[in-house]
A and B are shown apart, each in its own frame.
Chain A
Amino acid sequence: MLLEVSRLSAAYAGVPALHDVSFGVGEGQIVALVGANGAGKTTTLRTISGLLHPVRGQIAFRGQRLDGQPAHRIAELGIAHVPEGRRLFSRLTVRQNLLVGAHGKRARASENEAMERVLTMFPRLRERADQRAGTLSGGEQQMVAIARGLMLRPVLLMLDEPSLGIAPKLVDEIFTTIRAIAREGTTILLVEQNVRESLELADHAYVLQTGSTIADGTGAEILASDLIRRAYLGI
């Protein structure tokens, strides 16, 4: 396993948000984390990337313990977290946002190739390179957020709701891009509101309910399970 999360619990200022989260992500896989609003998907990603420190449990990446390490060091190990709500640096231009994405030592050397790669992947960003990120449309902002994550040259790319608030046509484009990124060899951990699409895309999926992982299977298995669909996913 590339990433192994075991019996993770986490809290916000003493209020528990994760109770018992366990799952694994294999090298080269697309793994989806699904669950209702407030189930703890975002919190799980935030704990992996070091924005939040776990109360209990372990996170191992390539056999190395992540829990307790600061976020900037976890990023240097090759984990990119594209956060919910995009969180672009709104006063910086598109290009500057991408450059900031390559700030880490691991990414710096190959900054130019990475820039060329993401601008080829998202041609629209090339046209908008010198526009302030805060003035982009929602869909364009999401492209910048994903591209900024890729600038890190991540081994593992964690995407939190990449299709949230985006026009349906663009959603398809984003899912196509995610598939392309995976084909190029980047492992992906995906959190999505679009449960159906993400389960169709995923090699493996875990269902999260009120802070605990309660089921897992291939994307197709989860989709086929009436119980899980009705009880936890509402589809």
Chain B
Amino acid sequence: MDGDVLLQAIASGLLIGMVYALISVGLTLIFGLMEIVNFAHGEFLMLAMYAAFFGRSLLGLDPMLSMPATVGLLFLLGVLTYRGLISRILHAPMLAQIFATFGLGLFLRGLAQFFWSSDFRSVQDPFLAGLSGGNVNVGAVSLGVPQIAAACLAGLAFLALYLFIDRSRTGLALQAVAEDRATASLMGINSDRMFALGWGLGAACVGIAGAVLATFYYIYPSVGVVFALIAFITVALGGFGSVPGALVAGLLVGLVEVVSPTLFGFSPAYKYAVVFGFYLVVVLVRPQGLFGRF
């Protein structure tokens, strides 16, 4: 086993792991706030990627330039999803809540297929791919600029989100509502607004992830499925509702996915099987996840 190859795998795993973490934190934020799993999370990501794609093909804007708009649109999508759908099923049985978000996901996927066909698309000449020839070499390790940028942006977004939740007045109110919405209302906090904000933020995280993924990933209606699956695992692994847990678990999943084929010499086609196997082992040992709080 070549040390450089392993190093290369570790670096690549950590980079994609940051993106997984960012996608997952949106999911865990919503769950931590109101104990609802957004099964349309992957489709939110898919829409963000299409937004980046059309920004380029229709308006000539690079995904990095259209990112603020993509994030804004996704925030709006999250708020609208809460207002139009989730707020109506807040007190419904869990199964109804599952079907509602799952159904929304299927609907969005169908819509994308109908309007945009199931062709695989990719963003033409993304700025990042052209930067420094598209690669950065550190010793024997070579990393793609888009992947590095994706990881850095994901890290920045993660940090901003963490500071917002931990330090700002609104962030504290979000935490208060997450723990005890009735008592929070006695402090003048409107939990309905906080829920809408939580959905907006959760979707906005996916907006950033989608914009950067669009620079190096194919875009098609069901592109969100595999990312959503990974996000569910990451959230369960990190502990449902835990923000630091999403970060650690995202990095772990990225590492396991990329390093294990290299390390054990099997085909990368089985990488997800290994990720799911890893997940099963962890939840058997620690059902609440790494940072779980129950």
Q: Which of B157-178 contact A (CB under 8 A)?
A: 169, 172-173, 175-176
A78 (CB) vs chain B CBs: closest residue:
B188
Q: What's the minimum C-beta distance from B165 to chain A, rounded to whole angstroms?
A: 11
Among A49, A83, A89, A106, point to the contact of B176 (Cβ < 8 A): A89
Tell me, yes or no, whether B35 is within 8 Å of chain A by CB: no
Docked-complex contact A75 and B185, CB < 8 angstroms: yes
Residues of B contacting A71 with CB < 8 Å? 182, 185-186
CA distance A43 to B264 in the complex (A): 63
Are the C-beta atoms of B183 and A152 separated by less than 8 Å?
A: no
| Inter-chain contacts of A83 with B (CB < 8 A) | 183, 186
Q: What separation, in Å, do the CA atoms of A115 and B168 have in the docked complex?
A: 17
- Is A104's CB within 8 Å of the partner chain B? yes
* Complex-state Cα separation, A73 to B185, whole angstroms: 8
Q: How many residues of A contact B (CB 8 A)?
A: 30
Residue contacts A-B, CB under 8 angstroms, 25 given: A49-B186, A51-B185, A71-B185, A72-B185, A72-B189, A72-B190, A72-B191, A75-B187, A80-B186, A83-B186, A89-B179, A89-B183, A92-B172, A92-B176, A96-B175, A99-B169, A99-B172, A100-B176, A100-B189, A101-B187, A103-B169, A103-B176, A104-B189, A106-B188, A152-B188
Whether B180 contacts A152 by the Cβ 8 Å rule is: no
Give the top 10 A-B pairs by smallest Cβ distance, nearest first: A104-B188, A71-B185, A75-B188, A87-B183, A72-B190, A72-B185, A100-B176, A81-B186, A103-B187, A89-B176
Known: A89-B180, A90-B179, A92-B172. A100 touches B185 (CB 8 A): no
A91-149 interface with B by 8 A CB criterion: 91-92, 96, 99-108, 148
A72 and B187 alpha carbons, distance in the complex (Å): 7
Known: A72-B190, A76-B188, A101-B187. A96 touches B172 (CB 8 A): yes
A108 to B169 CA separation, bound complex (whole angstroms):
10
Q: Which residue of B lies closest to A77 (CB)?
A: B188
Q: Does A50 interact with chain B (Cβ within 8 Å)?
A: yes
A50–B190 CA distance with the chains assembled, in angstroms: 12
- Does A217 interact with chain B (Cβ within 8 Å)? no
| Contact of B36 with A by CB under 8 A | no
List, in ascending order, chain A residues with CB within 8 A of B184's CB. 89, 100
Contacts of B182 in A (CB 8 A): 51, 71
- Which B176-220 residues have C-beta < 8 A from chain A? 176, 179-180, 182-191
Interface size class of B (residues with CB under 8 A): 10 to 19
Indicate if A70 sits at the interface (CB-CB under 8 A).
yes
Chain B, Cβ-Cβ closest to A92: B175
Asked whether, in the complex, the Cβ of A51 is within 8 Å of the Cβ of B186, the reply is: yes
Nearest CB on B from A141, distance (A) = 13
- Additional pairs, 17, CB under 8 Å, beyond known A71-B186, A75-B188, A152-B187: A72-B185, A72-B188, A72-B189, A72-B190, A83-B183, A89-B179, A96-B175, A99-B172, A100-B187, A102-B187, A103-B169, A103-B172, A103-B176, A103-B188, A103-B189, A104-B188, A108-B169
List the A side residues contacting B186 at CB < 8 Å.
Answer: 49, 51, 71, 75, 80-81, 83
Cβ contact of B180, chosen from A87, A105, A148, cutoff 8 A: A87
* B interface majority secondary structure: helix
Report B166 CB to chain A, min CB distance, Å. Answer: 9
Point out the residues of chain B lying under 8 angstroms from A87, CB to CB: 180, 183
Q: In the assembled complex, how far is the CB of residue B120 from the closest CB belonging to chain A, in whole angstroms?
A: 44
Measured between C-beta atoms, what is the minimum distance from B26 to chain A in Å?
Answer: 20
In the complex, A103→B184 CA distance in Å?
9
A92 to B125, CA, bound (A): 47
Bound-state CA distance A92–B167 (Å) is 11
- Interchain CA distance A70-B191 in the complex, whole Å: 11
Q: Nearest chain B CB to A109's CB is how many angstroms away?
A: 13
A153 to chain B, nearest CB (A): 11
CA distance A191 to B173 in the complex (A): 27
B292 to chain A, nearest CB (A): 13
> Are B180 and A100 interface neighbours, CB within 8 A?
no
Task: For B175, give the chain A residue with the smallest CB separation.
Answer: A92
Rounded to whole angstroms, the CA-CA distance of A101 and B176 in the bound complex is 10
Query: Please, which residues of chain B bring their CB within 8 A of the CB of A91?
Result: 175, 179, 293
A209 CA to B175 CA in the complex, in Å?
A: 38
Compute how far the CA of A148 lies from the CA of B187 in the bound complex, rounded to whole angstroms. 8
CA distance in complex: A158, B293 (Å) = 32
Give the distance in Å from the alpha carbon of A108 to the alpha carbon of B189 in the complex: 12
Cα-based distance from A15 to B287 in the complex (angstroms): 38
- Chain B residues near A73 (CB, 8 Å)? 188
A172–B293 alpha-carbon span in the complex (Å): 36
Bound-state CA distance A100–B178 (Å) is 13
With both chains docked as a complex, state the minimum distance between the C-beta of B78 and any C-beta of chain A, in angstroms. 22
From A50, A81, A89, B175 is in contact (CB under 8 Å) with A89
Chain A: which residue is nearest B293 at the CB level?
A: A91
